[in-house]
Amino acid sequence: MTVPESTRLARRLVGQAQPGEQIEVCAGSAVRTEVRVHGGMVESLTVAESRGVGVRVIVDGREGFAHAGTFDADVVDELVAEARDNAVFAEPDDRVGLAEPDGVVAVDLDPWDDRIASTSVDDKLALAVELERATIGADQRVRNVRTSLYADTRAESAIVSSLGVDGWDRGSSCSLSTSALIDDPDGSTRTGGAVDAAGAPQELDVEKVARLAVERGVQLIGAGPPTTGRPMVVLEPRFAATMLGIVAGMLSGERVVKGRTPFADRLGESVAAAALSVMDDPTDPESLAASSFDGEGIACRRVPLITGGVLDGFLHDSRSARGLDTVTTGSALRGVRGTPSPGHRSLSVAPGEGDLERFISSIDDGLLVASLQGLHSGVNAVSGDLSVGVEGVMIRNGQLAEPIREGTLAGAIPRVLLDIAAVGADLERLPGGSLVPTLVLEGLTLGGGSAA
Amino acid sequence: MLDHELINRTLSTAMSTGGDFAEVFVEDKRSSSAVLDDGRVEELTSGRDRGAGVRVVVGDTTGFAHTADLSEAGLRSAAEAAATAARGGGGGAKTIAVSPIEVARRAPARIPPEDVAKATKVGLLTLANEAARSEGAAISQVSARYGDSRRRILVANSDGLLAEDDQVRTLFSVSCVATGDTGLQTGRESTGRTVGFELFEETDVEDMGRRAAQRAITKLAARPAPSGAIPVVVGPGGGGVLFHEACGHGLEADLIAKGASVFANRIGDEVASPLVTLIDDGTMAGEWGHFAIDDEGRPAAHNVLIQDGVLTDYMWDQLRARKEGRPSSGNGRRQSYQHLPMVRMTNTYITAGQDDPADIIAATDHGVYVAQLGGGQVNTATGDFVFGMTEAYLIENGEIAEPIREGNLIGNGPEVLTRIDMLGDDFQMGSPGTCGKDGQGVPVGDGTPTLRVTSLTVGGTAA
């Protein structure tokens, strides 16, 4: 097999290491196709390749970094010197250093499907056109579609270091998404969106995306502000994954080392309802987020986070691991434009009991969430405060009742985990790769403008 | 940045399949940043991105390709790819000759970031860290970040336009964690301007460190925020985020054209309280959303969107304006040469009112005072929007009382605009923001005086 250009480039730059210096080079390229369709016409079609190189130089516990969006020699050849110069101005620390290969053999994954490259642009266009048509056709109340989008990427990257790391990985995936604009008889508009992702265009389910987007919007027709209260909150797998993703973000080893998470001193303690077991599993070949190597070239592996409600571990890269006298969990995330930091790739929840329908039928006063808004401004991973905008459908006496919008859901994340009332058995593989069931939460405050 | 003849040949290639419009966007961006965290200067980073994006428009379809290869071959190949993507119907070669447009001269950065020693930049971080930590033992963690960028762009199109800009931006932020009996709390301060290192002649980073620390310490005593609809007073500066979300995005012509905005077909209508005059202005020198030309080569402009409560205009990019047979308003922006431009805000603000800010608080019997806002998000089709409060207090009997924990507020844009009943005379620009839309982030500024909304829903946990 020929050596990829990214590997050759990375090896060449690593070869410039001087005595006493550690160098790591991450180099990669991606080819992206993106089609936006509106009104039956192609609104835009982008076909482009991008490249990038990131260089880390470490001298005497000081780290410097430089990156460039090209493989061109005139720019790339300056990177090592620039990163080296940057290292001079950092202050030394024992935690700073590249990852040492730890002998763990990477799972042999090749999340690559040649059909992404071999499918014609016309066929990709047709998918987005068909999705728009199916969305509009799914219900007569659909007025329009904001955007019908097909996108795919084929990416490859190499990571090479002076400590002996030399990995190369590739991945491809594609997705379809739509957002339906639905007429509410009161003159306002409701929206519903859906996305599907797959390894190849042939596996994307146009009808399902259209149907889900429209169902999600139509169920909100007639919605108004809720009354303030504390209903049971039912999170379908896609929202359960969002919530658990926030939690996993708070379990980053770097946050623990720096005291930026309420879970820092909680290892071995009960932090969640006993029904909850969640791990990060980037080794599952069924996940589109699966990966053989992490951002430091260390083998990805399963990382138990919460087991039976007990905090079992944190997500580490080599630097955060050094800070806690432990070893990396192969959880370094990075792009070529930045240095690694630990995080999750593909959460996997152990199945509990029950499913969405059964939960709804057993709840007297509840809310089935239909959309969450303001996650970036409403989640403080340090304090644990959670406060987001919400749309949904109220549950009364075991039945779906009136839809609501312009509400807020608020609580403290550590409390929310302990107040998980049920973990479903209805595991769903989400477009982002996670494998998550329905969750039912207690104790969140639903806020609204409607008088009680 | 590129030879004019090469630009002409690239545009001619782009038009060779019969496009209606073609454009070359060239960008060369250098950036540097330095981060102090956990008591030490952790990392310095340098970045370089350069390349060109070529778009070709045929009818309603845009073809787009980009390349990091600025050679003749690289540009030709991108132009061909864009032309193919746009599905030109074929037909005649067209010769393009571009000529520079007149753009108002702008003061370049007085102190370009590349002229400043790295040690000097790093020194600012240490000052901010020490000042923050000196605020008390409750401060358990401090991070400070310095960042600068120099972005040179060139835009040329098949109408013969040729324009260039040199955009220098400098940013500084401090984030603190305070630890107390009630857990952890955070406080943040940031400043960013479209200037060079002279930013620090007017910005005291030690003062920023102290303020971020005080904010975190104050919040240790915060009680749960109320839950439900309540009068909200927003302090000067920060309220810009509210308007950015409540109506800014909804006035972007691309969303209007798709019927994806509650403000479609509302020109001439009274859409807001008569107190409200909303302006988007890319010409505000030094502000975070400032530039000489937008990313389609159009001069930045001062655009009145709402005048005394009446909707006067939307914001436009080249594509939408062309269809309507009107000029672009200078709002065509893109994250980088790898992205297509679209309608974006620049510096969006509400002009000052007449009220004394103290009177606004005194006139509020029971409510919430938001001193600092976080980010926000809007669904332009429904008008429902949220924005975060990162420092807020209860108002009791016309006075600012205890601090409350942070959270989001939610409202509906068209309703909230009509519920603004008091507007202060204390206009300020707010903190630098990054506005996200369809996956692209661009720097934006915003500003407001102190203002009151008679009712907004606060997303707290207290009943």
Is the domain of A388 the same as that of A423? yes
Judged by CB atoms within 8 Å, which residues 147-186 of B form the interface with A? 177, 179, 183-186
- Domain boundary among the residues A197, A218, A239 is at A218
Distance CA B335, CA B462 (A): 40
Judged by CB atoms within 8 Å, which residues 269-328 of B form the interface with A? none
- SS3 call for A58: strand
Cα pseudo-dihedral B430, B336, A377, A343, rounded to 10: -140
B47 touches chain A (CB under 8 A): yes
Cβ of B425: how many Cβ atoms within 10 Å?
14
Q: What is the pLDDT of residue B97?
A: 77
- Read off the tokens for B400: 């600012």
Helix axes B118-133, A79-88, angle to 10 degrees: 40
Cβ of B308: how many Cβ atoms within 10 Å?
14
Distance CA A208, CA A130 (A): 12
Chain A residues with CB under 8 Å of B179 CB are 259
Distance CA B179, CA B407 (A): 19
Is the domain of A268 the same as that of A398? yes
Q: Which residues of B215-246 are buried (b: 16+ CB within 10 A; e: fewer)?
A: bbbbbbebebbbbbbbbbbbbbbbbbbbbbbb
Q: What is the pLDDT of residue A220?
A: 98
When pLDDT is averaged across residues A316-335 and rounded to a whole number, the result is 97
The boundaries of the domain holding residue A426 are: 223-452
Q: If you write DSSP's letter for every residue of B376-406 in order, what string do you get?
A: EEE-TTT-EEEEEEEEEEEEETTEEEEEE--
Chain A contact probe: residue of B20, B28, B227 with most A CBs at under 10 A: B227
* Of residues B64, B388, B459, nearest to A447 (C-beta): B459
Query: Interior CA angle at A16 toward A10 and A22, to 5°?
Result: 85
Q: What is the pLDDT of residue B238?
A: 80
Q: For residue B88, give the nearest of B161, B24, B21 by alpha carbon.
A: B21
When pLDDT is averaged across residues A41-62 and rounded to a whole number, the result is 94
**Residue owning tokens 């987005």:** A128
Contact B381 A191 (CB under 8 A): yes
Plot region of A39 (φ>0 → left; ψ -120 to 50 → alpha; else → beta): left
Contact A407 B457 (CB under 8 A): yes
A18, with CB counted inside 10 A (0-12, 13-18, 19+), is exposed
User: Which are the contacts of A19, defined by CB distance < 8 A and separation ≥ 6?
Assistant: none
* Of residues A43, A47, A93, nearest to B61 (C-beta): A43
Contact B388/B373 with Cβ under 8 angstroms? yes
| Structure confidence by residue, pLDDT tens digits, B27-61 | 999 999 999 999 999 999 999 999 999 999 998 89
Half-sphere exposure in the Cβ direction for B34 (13 Å, CA): 25
Distance CA B191, CA B170 (A): 8
Distance CA A304, CA A289 (A): 17
Distance CA B212, CA A404 (A): 37
Is the domain of A141 the same as that of A289? no
Q: How confident is the model at residue A376 (pLDDT cuts 50, 70, 90)?
A: confident
Contact B408 A411 (CB under 8 A): no
Contact B403/B218 with Cβ under 8 angstroms? yes
- Read off the tokens for A13: 């730059």
- Read off the tokens for A161: 């270091």
Contact A380 B34 (CB under 8 A): no
Is the domain of A210 the same as that of A278? no
Q: Which residues of A29-48 are buried (b: 16+ CB within 10 A; e: fewer)?
A: bbbbbbbbbbeeebbbbbbb
Residue B422: phi and psi, rounded to 5, are -145, 140
**Residue owning tokens 């431009």:** B341
- Read off the tokens for A227: 């009354």
Give the least confident one: A267-276, A369-378, B89-98, B167-176.
B89-98
Q: Give the long-range contacts of residues B180-185, CB within 8 A, separation 24 or more.
A: B180/B138, B180/B220, B181/B220, B182/B220, B182/B221, B182/B222, B183/A262, B183/A383, B183/A384, B184/A259, B184/A260, B184/A262, B184/A382, B184/A383, B184/A384, B184/B140, B185/A382, B185/A383, B185/B216, B185/B217, B185/B219, B185/B220, B185/B222
When pLDDT is averaged across residues A252-271 and rounded to a whole number, the result is 97
- Complex prediction ipTM: 0.94
Contact B462/A411 with Cβ under 8 angstroms? no
Q: What is the pLDDT of residue A452?
A: 42
For all residues of chain A together, what is the average pLDDT? Answer: 96
Candidate CATH numbers 3.40.50.10860, 1.10.3720.10, 3.30.2290.10, 3.40.47.10; the one for domain B113-153+164-220: 3.30.2290.10
When pLDDT is averaged across residues A380-386 and rounded to a whole number, the result is 96
When pLDDT is averaged across residues A10-27 and rounded to a whole number, the result is 97
Q: How confident is the model at residue A450 (pLDDT cuts 50, 70, 90)?
A: low
Is the domain of A189 the same as that of A210? yes
Chain B residues with CB under 8 Å of A86 CB are 43-46, 118
Is the domain of A404 the same as that of A318? yes
The nearest alpha carbon in chain A to B61 belongs to A43
- Read off the tokens for A289: 């987020």
Chain B contact probe: residue of A9, A380, A391, A441 with most B CBs at under 10 A: A380
Contact B224/B405 with Cβ under 8 angstroms? yes
Distance CA A204, CA A206 (A): 6
Contact B149/B180 with Cβ under 8 angstroms? no
CA A220 to chain centre: 26
Judged by CB atoms within 8 Å, which residues 65-104 of B form the interface with A? 65-69, 78, 81, 85-87
Judged by CB atoms within 8 Å, which residues 397-456 of B form the interface with A? 405-412, 438, 455
Contact A51 B81 (CB under 8 A): no
Split into its structural domains, chain A has a count of 2
Is the domain of A265 the same as that of A180? no
CATH of the domain at A47: 3.30.2290.10
- Domain boundary among the residues A218, A244, A270 is at A218
Distance CA B282, CA B343 (A): 13
Which portions of chain B are predicted below pLDDT 70?
88-94, 102-107, 463
Is the domain of A172 the same as that of A313? no
When pLDDT is averaged across residues A206-211 and rounded to a whole number, the result is 98
Contact A48 B66 (CB under 8 A): yes
Length of chain A: 452
Contact A408 B408 (CB under 8 A): yes
Chain A residues with CB under 8 Å of B51 CB are 69-70
Q: For residue A139, give the nearest of A194, A213, A196, A204 by alpha carbon.
A: A213
- Domain boundary among the residues A218, A249, A264 is at A218
Distance CA A292, CA A272 (A): 30
Q: Where are the domains of chain B?
A: 4-30+46-100, 113-153+164-220, 227-459
Is the domain of A179 the same as that of A49? yes
